[in-house]
Structure 1
Amino acid sequence: MNDLECPIPSAIHPAADSVDTQSAVWMRRFGLCANEIERNRLTHSGCGQLAARIAPSATRQTLQIVSDFFIWNVSFDDEYCDEGPLSRQPGELARTVSLIHRAIEVPESELHKGDRYACAMLDIRRRLDAYATPSQMYQWLMAMRGWFLAETWKAGNVAVGRIPTLDEYATLRLYSGGAMVFPVLTAIVENYAVSLDSLEDRRVKALTEIAASLVAWMADIASYGKEVARENGGHNLVSVIQHEHGCSPEWATVQATAMCGQMMELFLRSRDSLAPDAPAELHRYLQTLGHYIRASFDWCHASERYAYGDMSAVVSKEDFTSQTNSPLQASSIASIAWWWTIDNQISVALRRE
């Protein structure tokens, strides 16, 4: 990912270090992660730093919610979805995530108290209730449901040794790992709300999906070495390209990076065309999406979570130049091609003006 540029400016909340420390305490209080080795690794992964970059305008108190949510996200992803036995048992994973989701749907009770992940996420839900509007809470719950559904799809693939096509993966990765949850969560903790009509505007919807996918794809490139070393199943963008095109991991990494660059350009162009006429709250949401992308870009370069190495680092400049003369085009992936359709419509409208 060393050849990918992100011109969006960095921003960070001044309480980054303190929320990071407190999240490690919170993680241990609920007993998250498979063992103490994993807890120590996660303590040094910089979850609070990422939260502080995603939500730089949150209060200290609400920023802690994001940081705790993110450390829950990473521990759950590692223990249940990527590396533990449930990663190969779709039925059991579906049961587990359904119970967790029911626990956060009914904050008045303490359902499924025997599940530490359900208890920890219920704690987050109750803290969010103090700040979220009913509409925002509904959006958050729906985004969580989409995340959990995608993880069961992935587990089903792993159980039968199936690697998804690139088109399938673009859909799966949009939701897996909670990528679509963070824009909703950030608006809550930064104390602003965008109308559902605005969020469902096809231009805004496209920008949200581009941001979430770009965050996820950058993480895939950065985590490729870790995932090859620790996981099975081939559910990484680099692995999917490698499988679909019968190529080396180095070539696949170059292509993944090139497609991220295409998406970055599309996001910036579409955002900049929409922002001038956007009302105040929507304008702030567009800033949130930019912070989200930049936060992931910075975290992927710095976090110890990806200490197994960045595959792109082994690709020479000569390889990059020669292999991207005809790069894969993200716009040719059927499930996300509509982003470029919306962009073309915006461009035509601007020319008419």
Structure 2
Amino acid sequence: MRSFAVVALIAPPFPARLNPHAAEAARRSARWATELGLIVTSDAARRLDRANAGDLAGRTCPDAAPERLGLLTDLITWLFAFDDACDDDGLGADPGRLSPVVSRLLDVLDLLGGDAPSGLLTAAGPTGAALHDLCRRLRESGQPDLLVRFTAQFRDYLLALLWEAANREHHRVPAVDEYVQMRRHTGAVHPSFTLTDHARDARPGWSELADPRLSALDRLAADLVCWCNDVFSYGKERRLEQDGHNLTLVIARENGQDEQTALTEAAGRFNTGLETYLEWEGSLLDGAEPAVERFVAGRRAWIRATYDWSMNASRYA
């Protein structure tokens, strides 16, 4: 499937760069995950190593200082570890079991990185303790606007996982438009973007963030990240006989298409979206403030980073 993606997807025409601290960030993140109990088995450690969170983070923030790169790397590590844990015990397919887990993580988010009441983090387990650590460090960076954005976006991610689990429980394949909307959230792209803004010192004001053009560009960048991932990961998901949460599968079901036709259409959606992104970006950056330029550069870097990381990550081999 990787060979199909290489041929079918247009390579994003942005510079491919890697932070020189990426490898060290990956090592530190693996230790962080182990110390907090996110990784407890050798198999989990191997899968985390195969995910290569440091490479993905390092490609999105090639010039970031080690501390800020480390925060983003730890978030990506958390997401990979939680995704694997949900797959391992079927949690991600059982909304009745997932709901109390999500509820405890929402309790953690409500703290906004502040002091935790006695017993809360114990009840939330390692995933809750690690999530609180991410919020605490973002809070201590002195950027409350990013903290509020991050926790709100992470809340959307957690609630979207319940939608995904309900679909799995009922063997339901969503419609394409529904899938596209929810995929932005199940992929945790927006909270990842926000920690990228933190790493790149990209902080547009609220008026700029409320600009419909900027929000549309942000959503399209998230879509491109997800669609690229879906095309690259489809082969693995098909081999594992996983559910219908992939752009190719929802297209095939809705349009009554065979696998190859749907896969080609999914790649075409990415290519068309990339062309639209380039048009919108050029218009938006004309006369833009430096903070908006840095914001957009982060989205551009994520699109390119996802493509390059997917080309090499053994997670989808």
TM-score (norm 1): 0.83
Task: Give the Å deviation of 1:105.
Answer: 2.5
1:267 aligns with 2:274: no
User: Which residues of 2 match residues 305-320 of structure 1 at below 5 A?
Assistant: 305-307=315-317
CA pair 25-33 structure 1, distance change in 2 beyond 3 A: closer
| CA-to-aligned-CA distance 1:21-40 (integer Å, 9 cap, x gap) | 22122222223257421321
The residue number in structure 2 matching 1:292 is 302
Task: Give the Å deviation of 1:231.
Answer: 5.5
CA pair 302-7 structure 1, distance change in 2 beyond 3 A: same
1:108 aligns with 2:118: no
Cα RMSD over matched residues?
1.6
The residue number in structure 2 matching 1:4 is 9
* Residues 139 and 184, structure 1, Cα contact 8 Å, conserved in 2: yes
1 or 2 for the larger relative contact order (CA 8 Å, sep ≥6)? 2
Task: Give the Å deviation of 1:101.
Answer: 2.3
| CA-to-aligned-CA distance 1:283-314 (integer Å, 9 cap, x gap) | 1111111011111111111111111xxxxxxx
* Residues 131 and 188, structure 1, Cα contact 8 Å, conserved in 2: no
The residue number in structure 2 matching 1:32 is 38
Greater mean alpha carbon deviation, residues 26-35 or residues 125-134: 26-35
User: Which residues of 2 match residues 85-234 of structure 1 at below 5 A?
Assistant: 85-106=90-111, 107-109=114-116, 111-114=120-123, 115-230=125-240, 232-234=242-244
* Residues 25 and 73, structure 2, Cα contact 8 Å, conserved in 1: yes
Identity %: 31
Q: Secondary structure at the match of 2:18?
A: coil
Q: Aligned partners of 1:131 and 1:237: how far apart in 2?
A: 37
From 34, 57, 61, give the equivalent of 1:55: 61
Q: Aligned partners of 1:167 and 1:246: how far apart in 2?
A: 16
Q: Aligned partners of 1:21 and 1:159: how far apart in 2?
A: 37
Greater mean alpha carbon deviation, residues 149-158 or residues 237-246: 237-246
* Residues 33 and 79, structure 1, Cα contact 8 Å, conserved in 2: no
CA pair 22-90 structure 1, distance change in 2 beyond 3 A: same
CA pair 204-145 structure 1, distance change in 2 beyond 3 A: same
1:251 aligns with 2:251: no
| CA-to-aligned-CA distance 1:221-267 (integer Å, 9 cap, x gap) | 11112222336321111111122222222221111000000110011
* Residues 86 and 92, structure 1, Cα contact 8 Å, conserved in 2: yes
Task: Give the Å deviation of 1:282.
Answer: 0.6
CA pair 84-225 structure 1, distance change in 2 beyond 3 A: farther
| CA-to-aligned-CA distance 1:147-174 (integer Å, 9 cap, x gap) | 1111100101111110101111011101
Q: Which amino acid aligns with 2:184?
A: L
* Residues 161 and 186, structure 2, Cα contact 8 Å, conserved in 1: yes
* Residues 76 and 192, structure 2, Cα contact 8 Å, conserved in 1: no
Q: Aligned partners of 2:280 and 2:195: how far apart in 1?
A: 23
The residue number in structure 1 matching 2:52 is 46
Q: Secondary structure at the match of 1:12?
A: coil
* Residues 228 and 307, structure 2, Cα contact 8 Å, conserved in 1: yes
Q: Aligned partners of 2:56 and 2:284: how far apart in 1?
A: 27
TM-score (norm 2): 0.92
From 15, 26, 38, give the equivalent of 2:21: 15
Task: Give the Å deviation of 1:66.
Answer: 0.8
Q: Which amino acid aligns with 2:131?
A: M
CA pair 157-235 structure 1, distance change in 2 beyond 3 A: same
* Residues 131 and 191, structure 1, Cα contact 8 Å, conserved in 2: no
Q: Aligned partners of 1:240 and 1:276: how far apart in 2?
A: 37
* Residues 224 and 274, structure 2, Cα contact 8 Å, conserved in 1: yes
Q: Aligned partners of 2:108 and 2:231: how far apart in 1?
A: 33
Gaps of 5+ in 1: 308-353
Q: Which amino acid aligns with 1:16?
A: A
User: Which residues of 2 match residues 322-341 of structure 1 at below 5 A?
Assistant: none
Q: Aligned partners of 1:172 and 1:83: how far apart in 2?
A: 23
Q: Secondary structure at the match of 1:112?
A: helix
CA pair 197-91 structure 1, distance change in 2 beyond 3 A: farther
Q: Aligned partners of 2:89 and 2:142: how far apart in 1?
A: 33
